[in-house]
Structure 1
């Protein structure tokens, strides 16, 4: 891939709509709705004008909190048309996490749905922003969220303090085409287009700033690796709020002129129905999703013969599962990709013509236009082929930085532009990489990254808790589950259920520890540092787990 022409997201949508105006752009099988590329572009324009009419300016931060509804995609491609920055909010967030994100991101506007089956978003927002219930829309003055002024509720149900989606779109009628064109012209490809929050081992989530150029060029690489074209139809059930959804899926489709066939919330039945009904050729997901789809195919008949390819990402996929994806889902050209949000997100990928064994035993080679090297963590020198070291990446895909966190940015990206992934791996003489260990203590549950330090800080706010250590333990279904080792204050008593009840409604459900153990002391080094690998050994013995654990600390001395 040569260096592509720089273009903004707005320009990309316009170009694809001009080239393939009648192609399906956005399809919702369960709703029976679909937009052609011309209709999608026009809809995004109307919403962009609505935001402008609301007073949103270039550089303003617009948060969005919702499942894969049509308005999410319209927001993703409408917001950049006026130079605003979209801030994604995980749908599993509760009050503690939402307040932090909205405050740290300096969001002035929040677009949201009313909630999901398991979470009432509206009530959560009113909890942290009670002033919203007693103000006119657009006139919010919040003590805890001083910059937040506008809340837009997707749908037409009226709620105190909030605009409806249609009310905002109507505001755009006063904005001319010339004004919108001027806003687009003022937007630069190197401007930040989207902020996605991710965590490290040092505390709370960090806002990863990705530019138009970052994500469009990474999507172009996805298109090349998957050999996507305007005839392809991608079933998208991965969350839009993650980079895999909004870049690896949505923007990739726009680049190729392919159809986005969307499942609002992952459900294997709805996924396979969508594939069958819309004759999808591409299906992305993490291993847990594919396992659930394969289990369903064992019980029921779905026509998946139209499938050709897709990306398996987020965790290691064993060879038996991959063979079944190829055989039972007809995905002969399925590939494996590795990346992280800070890299827009993809770093390496296998290719559709690689042997299956290579697609399982490695995470592929560097994407076109991306440099990948293995550095010795101690000497900082490049490691020879076959030698373990830290995987580092340099190129167009490296983030602009963490929002308002210069020290964290400098720690992640060195003076020569190398992004240090925190993952240890080996590269062979052909450039194919294997992930051998994670330096970071991230727990990967069903393809979702969970950060122990964040859970530890939250559980430490319980009045009876003295200290907490959180680790991941192996799970045959999800890859890993969360386990908390808790030290209580002297004389205190607490049950496992009481701990979980304390978490409910405050942190995401997938972060609530499945396993809890109360201990008097932790295994520590001579310097007093907690040895988490020994906690993991204790957990495996305590729980009678047979699976091999994934290391939770640095694999080098």
Structure 2
């Protein structure tokens, strides 16, 4: 049963600037963000958002321009994103694990005008990684906190966050108000990049209205409340951390606790210190907490709501989350970037078996079928079919890729997900396989074609194929099958090192196996079903 104050019962503003203004009125002095021992009230967050918007306007950012953020979770991330969206710009979040060439590809094809980043990321200094990349449309680089170094090298060409926010004084407030009011619910709010089976990243466009409606519904369904303290470990560059994260919190009036980098001890300390009630994440997050030897040293009694997905969820994990970690409510969900991040959600009252073995049923206003991919007709309930959905949450399209958009969305509005699923008589969906070869590692989508393309650039590689294989607690990891060129002394270590030079860590194969030949069909296509059988045999020997 939904609470009377649930966000689904509220006439919500349908643009990001109006939403922040509404939240400032509704929740005023209540803490919107708590970070580093300091609180930012909803009223102050709205003021910061407006200041960032004026600063973007002062540097010439306007309607339809693209602004990218390549940084870990922080309060400034939220302020920058909302500020850019307040002048009609389109937010382009970048995965913090990307290599410089991967980030440059996205920045270039999206035509990003302004980049906000930090001094150091997992792969090194982002500004240095981009220094040799040709990005003619990128006009400004802004360095987010924390930064206490000197402006040397690539950093010298950037603007500090303090100077950026101070530049808001240069903008005409009346013009900013006009720009803010001109933002339309149907304007594109963001462009999140997702790869396809070709390995080429696609920019998924979603509107202000789609984001707010979808996560107003999600928040109401899972039971997110204004008295929740919401620890967001999921990265803001991902729908789970951005849309189901801080956006859902703003919609609900919850307090956001951003975590820049996952650390088991920090999570435990934060739960105890800040009385965290809401903690979503991939199943591996909860498994790590359950297996932490020091867990008993912390008071986790405040935990109330857990939302998981992105991988198979053991029934026992759901029970342990309730009985050991103390969650009152545990639900699972399913979504994809092209669906504004959400399609189905379990309900809090569902049994543990339903929560573990299904991804729930469609959110309100969304049609869902398992279809015969050849005919588009719904298959009988209980039978496998491709998951298709239709409704307000279907993306606006892939940026600058009309052909790919037309291949993914039918003429009558059905989004073909590429996932194979089974729907029961209640409308609950179980994902069983993928038409595409994509696998999920710690909640991150990995596309084998992209990894294979990199492998073919390594001297000594004649052929390569990559599949996902099960491994706890990550869910799935990559296994690369490599055929060496004659006379090559290529080693598994060299393959791993090479992938690490060109790919984000989560994309790098966990296993590397050398084979004499890849199994092929009559047309020369690699038979990945046979590779999965071979992988199963190899993994059983490793145990």
Flag whether TM exceeds 0.5 (same fold): yes
Q: Which residue of 2 aligns with 1:148?
A: 138
Q: Which residue of 1 aligns with 2:67?
A: 62
Q: Which residue of 2 aligns with 1:247?
A: 243
Q: Write the distance in 2 (CA, Å) between the matches of 1:543 and 1:431.
A: 36
Q: Which residue of 2 aligns with 1:330?
A: 326
Q: Which residue of 1 aligns with 2:281?
A: 285
1:414 equivalent in alignment to 2:404: no
1:225 equivalent in alignment to 2:215: no
Structure 1 counterpart SS, 2:57: helix
Q: Write the distance in 2 (CA, Å) between the matches of 1:40 and 1:291.
A: 34
TM-superposed CA distance for 1:3, in Å, is 11
Gaps of 5+ in 2: 1-7
Q: Which residue of 2 aligns with 1:81?
A: 86
Structure 2 counterpart SS, 1:11: helix
1:467 equivalent in alignment to 2:457: no
CA contact (8 A) 1:307 1:331 kept: yes
1:184–1:272 distance in 2 versus 1, CA, 3 Å = same
Query: Mean alpha-carbon deviation: is it higher for 354-363 or for 337-346?
Result: 354-363
Structure 2 counterpart SS, 1:434: strand
Structure 2 counterpart SS, 1:331: coil
CA contact (8 A) 1:394 1:418 kept: yes
CA contact (8 A) 2:419 2:436 kept: yes
TM-superposed CA distance for 1:374, in Å, is 1.3
What is the CA RMSD across the aligned residues, in angstroms?
A: 1.8
1:3–1:490 distance in 2 versus 1, CA, 3 Å = farther
TM-superposed CA distance for 1:168, in Å, is 1.3
Of 5, 14, 37 in structure 2, the residue corresponding to residue 7 of structure 1 is 14
1:438 equivalent in alignment to 2:407: no
Spell out the pairing of 1:309-324 with structure 2 (5 A cutoff). Answer: 309-324=305-320
CA contact (8 A) 2:359 2:431 kept: yes
Q: Which residue of 2 aligns with 1:95?
A: 100
CA contact (8 A) 2:463 2:483 kept: yes
Query: Mean alpha-carbon deviation: is it higher for 170-179 or for 442-451?
Result: 170-179
Q: Write the distance in 2 (CA, Å) between the matches of 1:339 and 1:82.
A: 28
TM-superposed CA distance for 1:456, in Å, is 0.8
Q: TM-score, normalised by structure 2?
A: 0.94
Query: Mean alpha-carbon deviation: is it higher for 297-306 or for 55-64?
Result: 297-306
Spell out the pairing of 1:438-517 with structure 2 (5 A cutoff). Answer: 438-517=434-513
TM-superposed CA distance for 1:121, in Å, is 2.2
Structure 2 counterpart SS, 1:351: coil
Q: Which residue of 1 aligns with 2:39?
A: 34
Q: Write the distance in 1 (CA, Å) between the matches of 2:207 and 2:459.
A: 42
1:195 equivalent in alignment to 2:191: yes
How many residue pairs align between the two structures?
530
Query: Mean alpha-carbon deviation: is it higher for 466-475 or for 449-458?
Result: 466-475
- 1:161-196 per-residue CA deviation (whole Å, 9 max, x = no partner) reads 111111111111011321211111111111111111
Query: Mean alpha-carbon deviation: is it higher for 2-11 or for 413-422?
Result: 2-11
- 1:21-59 per-residue CA deviation (whole Å, 9 max, x = no partner) reads 01110111xx11220000111111111111111111111
Spell out the pairing of 1:42-57 with structure 2 (5 A cutoff). Answer: 42-57=47-62
- 1:39-82 per-residue CA deviation (whole Å, 9 max, x = no partner) reads 11111111111111111111110111011022111112111111
CA contact (8 A) 2:283 2:473 kept: no
Of 339, 353, 359 in structure 1, the residue corresponding to residue 355 of structure 2 is 359
1:368–1:417 distance in 2 versus 1, CA, 3 Å = same
CA contact (8 A) 2:232 2:280 kept: yes
- 1:134-176 per-residue CA deviation (whole Å, 9 max, x = no partner) reads xxxxxxxxxx212111111113543221111111111110113
Structure 2 counterpart SS, 1:312: strand
Of 22, 25, 29 in structure 1, the residue corresponding to residue 32 of structure 2 is 25
TM-superposed CA distance for 1:542, in Å, is 2.4
Q: TM-score, normalised by structure 1?
A: 0.92
Tell me which stretches of 4 or more aligned residues in structure 1 moved more than 4 Å. Answer: 1-6
Structure 2 counterpart SS, 1:18: helix
TM-superposed CA distance for 1:117, in Å, is 5.4
CA contact (8 A) 2:100 2:126 kept: no
Q: Write the distance in 1 (CA, Å) between the matches of 2:110 and 2:60.
A: 18
Spell out the pairing of 1:129-148 with structure 2 (5 A cutoff). Answer: 129=133, 144-148=134-138
Q: Write the distance in 2 (CA, Å) between the matches of 1:256 and 1:538.
A: 48
Query: Mean alpha-carbon deviation: is it higher for 156-165 or for 341-350?
Result: 156-165
Q: Write the distance in 1 (CA, Å) between the matches of 2:357 and 2:539.
A: 29
Structure 1 counterpart SS, 2:487: coil
TM-superposed CA distance for 1:115, in Å, is 1.5
1:534–1:385 distance in 2 versus 1, CA, 3 Å = same
Query: Mean alpha-carbon deviation: is it higher for 352-361 or for 411-420?
Result: 352-361
Q: Write the distance in 1 (CA, Å) between the matches of 2:313 and 2:391.
A: 27
Structure 1 counterpart SS, 2:179: helix
1:108 equivalent in alignment to 2:101: no
Q: Write the distance in 2 (CA, Å) between the matches of 1:360 and 1:93.
A: 32
CA contact (8 A) 1:238 1:245 kept: yes
Gaps of 5+ in 1: 130-143, 548-557
TM-superposed CA distance for 1:4, in Å, is 5.8
Spell out the pairing of 1:367-386 with structure 2 (5 A cutoff). Answer: 367-386=363-382
- 1:349-400 per-residue CA deviation (whole Å, 9 max, x = no partner) reads 1011112221112111110111111112233211121121111111111111
